Structures are given as structure tokens and as C-alpha cells.
Structure 1
Amino acid sequence: MGYAHYEIIRNGQTIQAGYSVPTTCERTSCNEQIDRGLAHLCGETPGGDQHGCGGYFCGNHLHMNANLAASGFACRACNDRYDAQHPEEDEEVSVDAMVVTFN
């Protein structure tokens, strides 16, 4: 199976997905042209999973959550839902990825 065009079931409906399937951002009132590829996916799994709703969003409406770093990106609603369910994981995150000292 390639990722250019395939079908998924999301919320009980079969939809076309893949990076060759054009669509618009699913954020209300956003008309940004995107595709239904993995780069625009909320969560890890097309169709939705525990990390995201499976919606497709433009770069302005898809966000990295420091606590979800392993699972990629999520829309604001899914990020907020995760943060509310896991308040103990909220911590100060450094903007520096790494500090290296050379001698």
C-alpha cells in the first residue's frame, strides 16, 4: 500500500486519504489548501487514535505538544484534551534541544 491514495474509516465514514488527495484545512473558517497526507494528520494513525482525532490541518492549526513528541502533531483541541488528562506531565520545556561544549 502506498501513501499517495488510500481509503480510511473515520467517525464511521469512509474517506479518501493520502498526499495526492487535495482538501482544505479542517479547522472551522480556515480555507488553506492542503492534502490528506501524513504531514497534515492530527495524531499518528489515519482515522484517529488516542493521540489525535485523525483530522487534516494546515501548518497554522497543527501543533507539536512536548508531551506527544513521539506521536507527532495534533490539532489544538487534541493537544488541550491530552494536557487536561495528563496534568502531571506539564513541565517547563527548554527551547534548547541540546547544549554541547567542545574542548
Structure 2
Amino acid sequence: MGYAQYDIVRNGQTITAGYAVPTTCEEPDCATDIDRGLAHLCGEMPGGDEHGCGGYFCGEHLYGFDPSRCKRCLDTTEGVR
């Protein structure tokens, strides 16, 4: 299976994800063009996990590394390891 385009279930909805799927940052009021690839993912798993919400964010709204998190998830998981 490649990661260019695939379907995932997130918050009960099926969405198309992958680095070939264009979208915009999911941070409110941000219109930065990104893709739904792993480089823009909050957490470790598409669809969300205990490390993040599974949303897709631009570099300005994604923090940390391995895994990267959006601001809301960073605030709720800070210090959890």
C-alpha cells in the first residue's frame, strides 16, 4: 500500500488522506495549503491516537517532533510519556 492516497476513519467520518491529497491547514482561520500526508499529521496515526487528534496542520501550527502535535494536543499531552 502506498501513502499517496488512502481512506481513514476520523471522528466517525471517512476521509481521504495521503501526500497526494491537497487540503488546507485545519487550524481555525489558517488558509495555508498543505496535503494530508504524514508530515502534516498531528500524532502518530492517521485518524488520531493517544498522541494526537489526527488533524492536518501547516508547519506554523504543528509543534514538536516524533510525534508532532497541534497546539490543543500539545497542551493536553505535555509531560505525558
Same fold (TM over 0.5): yes
Between the two structures, name the one with larger relative contact order (CA 8 Å, sep ≥ 6).
Answer: 2
Larger Rg: 1
Q: Deviations over 1:46-99 (max 9, x none)?
A: 0000000000000000000xxxx5x3200000000012x74xx8xxxxxxxxxx
Within a 5 Å distance, the mapping from 1:28-67 to structure 2 comes to 28-64=28-64
Secondary structure of the structure 2 residue equivalent to 1:60:
helix
Structure 1: gaps of 5 or more residues: 90-103
How well do the aligned residues superpose, as a CA RMSD in angstroms?
1.4
Calculate the TM-score normalised by the size of structure 2. Answer: 0.95
> Aligned residues: percent identity?
63
Aligned length: 81
Please identify which structure carries the higher helix content.
Answer: 1
Q: Which aligned segments of 4 or more residues in structure 1 are displaced greater than 4 angstroms?
A: none
More strand by share: 2
